[in-house]
Structure 1
Amino acid sequence: MSTSEVSRKSLSELISLSGRRAVVTGGARGLGAAIASRLAEAGADLLIGDIEEGLAVRTAEDLSRRYGVSALGAALDVTDSGSVSALADRAVSELGGLEIWVNNAGIFPAMPVLEMTDELWDRVQAVNARGTFVGAREAARRMTGGGAIVNIISTAGFRASAPGLAAYVSSKHAARGLTRELALELAPAGIRVLGVAPSHVPTEGNILAAQEAMAALAAQGVELPPTPLMVNGPIGRPGVPDDIARVVLFCASDLANFMTGSTLIADGGSIA
């Protein structure tokens, strides 16, 4: 199965997601909620999965009111394959199908290599790497008519970003490599796979996680870089969640119909 040729579509048709069904993991707040909002605005019906079920439900209800789409919230633990499979099944049974899946859920606790426990390493890999794999696998199994999978990577998937993030950096390199392999294997099914790599975008969760990471490293005597984790790149301002959400919308839409396997960097030029 090949992706359709869309040259005769108008611009509004290319960006429209009307009639498509999307899942966003970790979509209850922050970057995930911004992504879900743009997909809903473009017309997609949505299932938001998050470890915080109540917040996922409220976010979905808000998007349904604002954009007139079907939107549902559900509990999701991406480290549990059964939980991911159940979410994918619910998308098919309650939304009527599945064409778009965004692997957004992720964590980035900090600990120096010499103090890092096996448990912390495994937890980061379970969420960021294995969770991305399981989400893509379960989505692809249900995309009977083709579709698009978008993996939220990070600029940490291209470089070491800060002390104490060995597990995170490794997991994001793995997710970027996985994106390329998934694109190769899933292309015959008409499924495109793209990555989006943001720099650290200030959200409530990211700011708190960054503060906790820096405090933990400082308490252990780790010399921190002279600039904070969230800095302005050459573009002159920090990113906001919608900066990343618009790139995800591009990837999920027919605007990116001829793209697969790439990871698009959305970082204001910070690693230019």
Structure 2
Amino acid sequence: MTSIADFSSTPLAELLSLKGRVAIVTGGAQGLGKGIARRLAEAGATVLLGDRNLELACQTAAAIAAEYDAMVEAIAMDVSDSAAIAAAASHAKDAFGSVDIWVNNAGVFPHIPLQHMTDADWDNVFSVNARGTFAGCREAAKAMQGRGGVIVNVASLAGLRGISPGLSAYVSSKHAVVGLTKQLALELAPERIRVIAVAPSFMVTEGNLALIKQDPRMAELAAEAIPSMITSKLGRVGQPDDIARTVLFAVSDMASFITGETIVVDAAETA
């Protein structure tokens, strides 16, 4: 077994630098994925954005590339299709030479009461949130074998507890992501591949805001929850960059001795 490097004497700027590393971010066209991609590019990484909405992903990639003078590309990727995930990994290796960082961010969160949820509804959520994360981890591990790397799984507070009615599939799928993270950290440690989960509370993203507008039940829940988030604890609602900075820490050499953990980013909501 090859030991991970000891960075005790490495300057701080080098610890945070991702220069020369290649990152894949799923669900990267908007929301948390976009925020994560921005910070990784700013730190020097070459970034491949995977998303079902290729047009929007291309726009996001171009904007980030221009902002940071970075190499950022977009690729069509539906994480419920394992072949699409494998194709993205293959493209990254062929185009950029390696895959060093993989962020499993893509997810869905339909609000469906249990009595109305069909098998197809349940399977759709798990095909994206659980199996999509598993497939991303699998392809990342293949690409990183022999050289090491970091996998970050974007979970949720829903991976640690129940949150609200109508989200049984989402909560269950995110618990699966947390469990998968723990198991793969053990399994992949000999390959010098770290696996970390990040568990955000409610964040102000395009997806969350769209869901609130479309679903009166979610609007009601948000109307109750958001004021308490703003007025208590750290005094504001979470933004995508709060998660992006956490992911940047997790994939950098600052966190080189951390694996198997779920980093909760919730302004003490669960304290």
Q: TM-score range by the shorter chain?
A: over 0.9
Alpha-carbon shift at residue 67 of structure 1 (Å): 1.5
Q: Supply the distance in 2 between the matched residues of 1:62 and 1:224 (Cα, whole angstroms).
A: 34
Who is 1:114 aligned against?
115
Who is 2:237 aligned against?
238
Who is 2:158 aligned against?
156
Q: How has the CA–CA distance of structure 1 residues 97 and 217 changed in structure 2, closer, same or farther, with 3 Å as cutoff?
A: closer
Identity between Structure 1 and Structure 2 (%): 52
- Whether the aligned pair in 1 keeps the contact of 2:211 and 2:218 (CA below 8 Å) is no
4+ long deviations beyond 6 Å? none
Q: How has the CA–CA distance of structure 1 residues 237 and 225 changed in structure 2, closer, same or farther, with 3 Å as cutoff?
A: closer
Q: Supply the distance in 1 between the matched residues of 2:33 and 2:194 (Cα, whole angstroms).
A: 20
Alpha-carbon shift at residue 89 of structure 1 (Å): 0.5
* Aligned-pair Cα RMSD in Å: 1.7
Who is 1:263 aligned against?
262
Q: Deviations over 1:55-99 (max 9, x none)?
A: 111211222222122111010000001000000101111111110
Alpha-carbon shift at residue 227 of structure 1 (Å): 2.1
- Structure 1 residues 166-185: aligned runs within 5 Å: 166-185=168-187
Q: Deviations over 1:196-236 (max 9, x none)?
A: 000110112111123434x2579xxxx96982378515111
Query: TM-score by structure 1 length?
Result: 0.94
Q: Can you give the 5+ residue segments of structure 1 that lack an aligned partner in the other structure?
A: none
- Whether the aligned pair in 2 keeps the contact of 1:150 and 1:251 (CA below 8 Å) is yes
Alpha-carbon shift at residue 32 of structure 1 (Å): 0.5
Residue 161 of structure 2 aligns to which amino acid in structure 1? R
Query: TM-score by structure 2 length?
Result: 0.94
The range that moved more, 55-64 or 229-238, is 229-238
Q: How has the CA–CA distance of structure 1 residues 109 and 253 changed in structure 2, closer, same or farther, with 3 Å as cutoff?
A: same
Residue 147 of structure 1 aligns to which amino acid in structure 2? G
Who is 2:250 aligned against?
251
Residue 188 of structure 1 aligns to which amino acid in structure 2? P
Alpha-carbon shift at residue 270 of structure 1 (Å): 1.1
Residue 23 (structure 2) pairs with residue 22 (structure 1)? yes
Who is 1:208 aligned against?
210
Q: Supply the distance in 2 between the matched residues of 1:212 and 1:260 (Cα, whole angstroms).
A: 38
Q: How has the CA–CA distance of structure 1 residues 217 and 263 changed in structure 2, closer, same or farther, with 3 Å as cutoff?
A: closer
Residue 75 of structure 1 aligns to which amino acid in structure 2? A
Equivalent pairs counted in the alignment come to 267
Q: Supply the distance in 1 between the matched residues of 2:45 and 2:222 (Cα, whole angstroms).
A: 42
Residue 225 of structure 2 aligns to which amino acid in structure 1? P
- Structure 1 residues 218-233: aligned runs within 5 Å: 227-228=224-225, 231-232=228-229
Who is 1:55 aligned against?
56
The range that moved more, 230-239 or 29-38, is 230-239
Q: Can you give the 5+ residue segments of structure 2 that lack an aligned partner in the other structure?
A: none
- Whether the aligned pair in 1 keeps the contact of 2:154 and 2:197 (CA below 8 Å) is yes
Who is 1:73 aligned against?
74
- Whether the aligned pair in 2 keeps the contact of 1:88 and 1:138 (CA below 8 Å) is yes
Q: Supply the distance in 2 between the matched residues of 1:226 and 1:55 (Cα, whole angstroms).
A: 29
Q: Supply the distance in 2 between the matched residues of 1:260 and 1:177 (Cα, whole angstroms).
A: 13
Who is 2:143 aligned against?
142
